[in-house]
Amino acid sequence: MKLTFLGTGTSFGVPVIGCDCRACTSDDPRDRRTRHGAVLEIDGARLLIDTPPELRLQLLANGIKHIDAIWFTHTHADHVHGIDDLRVFTVRKGDIPAFVPAEYSAHISRYFSYIFDDEVLPPQGSSKPRLQLQEFRAGELVEIFGRGFLPLVAPHGLVSVYGFRVGGLGYITDAKTLPQAAVTALEGVEVLVLNALWFGRPHPAHFNVEEAVEMAREVGAARTYLTHLTHRVTHAELEDRLPSGVIAAHDGLVVEVG
């Protein structure tokens, strides 16, 4: 399996509009963070994780020319508002399965009704994304590309976010903590992906760096990659301060998972 980080920033992205902090004015390309997204490649097939607003630019930057399925973690704007960029793929190959938490199926169908309402037809000569929603629930195995994906739910402020475990990879973004069921399911992963905002101050809906590091230790992953990072910390600072086995992801980073 190969995991490509398309975007590793929060909903503001980095640089933040109008900000002149160290991260926002940095000339280190690793400090330029677009909104959250990733691609997991399994035997040549590609699963897109979320559809952030910069999706088109992310796919071009990483040379991603086809997508075979999508996994939505939740329906916050920075995770879904690039959904229309999927049109180019569905024009070429037809319907693409979109795996969505059952609790968000009605919401995403209503929010993007022009996509999911079969009675809404694009004007002649135009197009719309053709996605087939596939509902999943936490703890119930889902088969994608012939592999078993175990959906894992975690609290994210007032809502829930859904990651997964597949083989040696555990993927969780936008979590504040991990329930014991998720920790147990993730035990023994080779690669763990967790969100982390900054050092120090706690946040009501996200891990800070210290909390993510502690959770990584509890899971016992061989390698943990931090994503969903803010402009309050630079990549160089993360490299300097993170313990062994915990790594700051950056846009365009590619990770091989055995």
Residue 143 counted as domain residue? no
pLDDT digits (tens, 9 = 90+) for 57-71: 999 999 999 999 999
3-class DSSP state for residue 117? coil
Q: Write the pLDDT tens digit of every residue in 17-41.
A: 999 999 999 999 999 999 999 999 9
| Percent of the chain residues past pLDDT 70, beyond the cut | 100
- For the chain, the domain total comes to 1
Q: How many CB atoms are closer than 10 A to CB 193?
A: 25
> Mean of the pLDDT values across residues 152-178?
98
Written in H, E and C, the secondary structure of 159-183 is EEEEEEEECCEEECCCCCCCCHHHH
DSSP 8-state code for residue 85: G
Domain region containing 154: 2-138+149-256
Q: What is the rounded distance in angstroms from the CA atom of residue 111 to the CA atom of residue 72?
A: 14
**Is residue 91 predicted with pLDDT exceeding 90?**
no
- Residue 144 included in any domain: no
Q: Is residue 26 part of a domain?
A: yes
How far is residue 247 from each of residues 40, 73, 191, 213, 222, measured CA to CA in Å? 18, 22, 11, 10, 11
58 lies in some domain: yes
Nearest to 100 by CA among 65, 144, 67, 34: 144
Give residue-wise pLDDT tens across range 92-144: 888 999 999 999 999 999 999 999 998 998 888 889 999 999 999 999 999 99
Is residue 167 situated within a structural domain? yes
Cβ–Cβ < 8 Å for 118, 95: no
Residue 204 sits in a domain of what CATH number?
3.60.15.10
Task: Please indicate, yes or no, if residue 161 is contained in any of the structural domains.
Answer: yes
pTM summary value? 0.97
